Structure formats: C-alpha cells, structure tokens
Amino acid sequence: MPFGAVEEQIIDAAKNYSTVLHKATELVSQATDDLFSGTPATIYLKKMGHRQLTSEELKNIITALGSAEDKQIVQDFQQAQLELSQRLQNTKNIGLLLKQAKIPYQQAYARFSRSDLWKPEQMIQIMEVLRRLQL
C-alpha cells in the first residue's frame, strides 16, 4: 500500500497529541485529586512532579481542563491509534518493520490487541519506517 493521506493524518495526530500532553503536564497544578489514581500520597507526588502520570490521567486532565481544540486532538489521536492497528494488520514484513522502528515484537503484539496502548513516539517511528520502506 502506498503512503497516503491516512498515514499523514496518523503522523499529524501523534505530533499534535504530544504537544497536548506537554500542555497537560502544565495543567497538573490546577487539577483536582479526583482526576488522579492512587493513594493520597501518590496523588501528592504526581502533582509535585515526582511520579509519572499515566496516559489515562493525562487524558482526564485534558478532558477536564483543556480547550475544545485539545479535546478534539485527543479524539483524533484515539482514532489514529485504531487506524494504525488496522494499517499494520494489512502490512507484510511486520517483523522487519518493527525491527527498523526499534519496537519489540511483544510490545507491538500487545498494542495490536489494544490499540489505546500506542504511544505517539512509537506511532511516528512506525509511520516513518513505512514511508521509508514504501510498504
């Protein structure tokens, strides 16, 4: 399959989502405790920046405190995750693709079954390899 508009949309969605994630980390101080998971001590550490936020917590913060545009970017990214999984199901030489993108096969296999696990950096890596190999 040649590289086309769908693939470009996946790359754009991943890049935009990375930008929104950065914005979400800036909004952490304004977030209420119910947007986080864990014990009160863990929530405190997450708010202070000593613990990493989960992707679900970041989505909660964006949904609660982000603009309408930010919320749309999150929806576009979720759609791009599904499209990537579908695109890779039809791709031959998946082992070569994953090796070139430096993504372990077991990790990719888990993401094939749960597309919401794809990270924006991984999506961009895979799409760049697809473009380069013209798959």
pLDDT at residue 3, as a whole number:
60
Q: What are the tens digits of pLDDT across the range 28-40?
A: 888 888 989 889 9
124 has a pLDDT exceeding 70: yes
pTM: 0.84
Contacts 24+ apart (CB under 8 A), 44-53: 53/24, 53/25, 53/28
Distances (CA, A) of 75 to 5, 20, 38, 69, 72: 18, 12, 25, 10, 5
Q: State the Cα–Cα distance between residues 72 and 54, nearest whole angstrom.
A: 20
Containing domain of residue 74, as a range? Answer: 5-133
What is the total residue count of the chain? 135
Looking at the 3D structure of the chain, how many domains does it have? 1
What would the two tokens of residue 53 be?
């936020």
Q: What are the tens digits of pLDDT across the range 17-75?
A: 999 988 888 888 888 889 898 899 999 998 888 998 888 888 889 989 889 999 999 99
Say which residues have a Cβ less than 8 Å from residue 11's Cβ, sequence separation at least 6.
123, 124, 127, 128
Region 76-102 average pLDDT: 89
Which is higher by pLDDT, 98 or 5?
98
Residue type, 29: S
Residue type, 116: D
Q: What are phi and psi of 70, to 5 degrees?
A: -65, -40
